[in-house]
Amino acid sequence: MESIGGIQDCFLVREVQRGNQAAFEQLVHAHDQAVLRLALRITGSESDAQDIHQEAFLKVFTRLAGFRFECSLSTWIYRIVTNLCLDHLRRNRKRREDVALEGTVNGGEYNLLNQFPDDTAANNPEQQLLGRELGTHISSALQTLTPRERMVFELKHFQGLKLRTVGQILNTSEASIKTSLCRATQKLRVQLAGLTTVTNRPMMQRCDN
């Protein structure tokens, strides 16, 4: 059964295709934060993320007339965004400086370390220092992945998408996505081998879920 959000998306798409500008604004409102979060995580730059966000929705607007409902609207939008993000990763592949994956979305702090919470760190300066060092190691480790591996890892573990959905977004088979995810996980294990607080995390233990 199609979700309520999916039904609403279909209605809005048909309205946009009929020339309803307000319906497009509603679509943007429904999906813009997901787009911005992904772009921010990949680029590490609020300004670059905003640029990708704007370019993505410009492409959505210009291509929506040809949308044929062969996949969900969210998957289709993610496909546009991931292509833009992949282009960004490829352009910056040769840079080896650490990427500060921090930004503010809706006035809240968006930090890579939020993916590795530690309740004991809040009032412990030593734990906070270790957390910052951990973040630097993670950022550096992510840079060792190919753009495709990085995108698969991000979509699976940080966006919480199923492998089948990731495959639809990247227009490839689930088996191919699983292979890329395993390669990414193995590379990160090697890079973070000395950091048991990370390597003991579930996301680093399995790559086939």
Task: Show the tokens assigned to 84.
Answer: 């833009």
- The structural domains of the chain, ordered by start, are 1-92 (1.10.1740.10), 109-209 (1.10.10.10)
Does the reported pTM lie above 0.75? no
> Rounded to whole angstroms, how far apart are CA atoms 156 and 169?
11
Residue 67 has a CB neighbour count (10 Å cut-off) of 18
Query: Can you tell me which residue has the tokens 């699976």?
Result: 156
Q: Which SS3 state, helix, strand or coil, does residue 129 take?
A: helix
Decide if pLDDT at 66 tops 80.
yes
Do 26 and 57 meet the contact criterion of CB atoms below 8 Å apart? no
Of 1 and 53, the one with more pLDDT: 53
State the distance between the two ends of the chain, measured CA to CA, in whole angstroms: 23
CA distances from 167 to 46, 79, 151, 184, 197 (A): 27, 10, 11, 15, 30
Query: Can you tell me which residue has the tokens 């890892």?
Result: 153
> Rounded to whole angstroms, how far apart are CA atoms 5 and 111?
27
Do 198 and 204 meet the contact criterion of CB atoms below 8 Å apart? yes
Decide if pLDDT at 105 tops 70.
no
What value, to the nearest 5°, has the Cα angle with vertex 127 and ends 125 and 129?
A: 70
Band of residue 102 on the pLDDT scale cut at 50, 70, 90: very low
Q: Which of 13, 79, 82 is nearest to 42 (CA)?
A: 82
pLDDT of residue 80: 96
pLDDT tens figures, 176-202 = 999 999 999 999 988 888 664 444 455
> Rounded to whole angstroms, how far apart are CA atoms 161 and 8?
20
pLDDT of residue 121: 42
CA 26, chain centre distance (Å): 22
Q: Which SS3 state, helix, strand or coil, does residue 11 take?
A: helix
Task: Show the tokens assigned to 205.
Answer: 């233990």
pLDDT tens figures, 119-177 = 444 455 555 555 566 667 777 888 889 999 999 999 998 889 999 999 999 999 999 99
Decide if pLDDT at 113 tops 80.
no
pLDDT tens figures, 26-37 = 999 999 999 999
Do 152 and 186 meet the contact criterion of CB atoms below 8 Å apart? no
Decide if pLDDT at 75 tops 60.
yes
Q: Which of 34, 36, 59 is nearest to 46 (CA)?
A: 36
> Rounded to whole angstroms, how far apart are CA atoms 49 and 41?
8
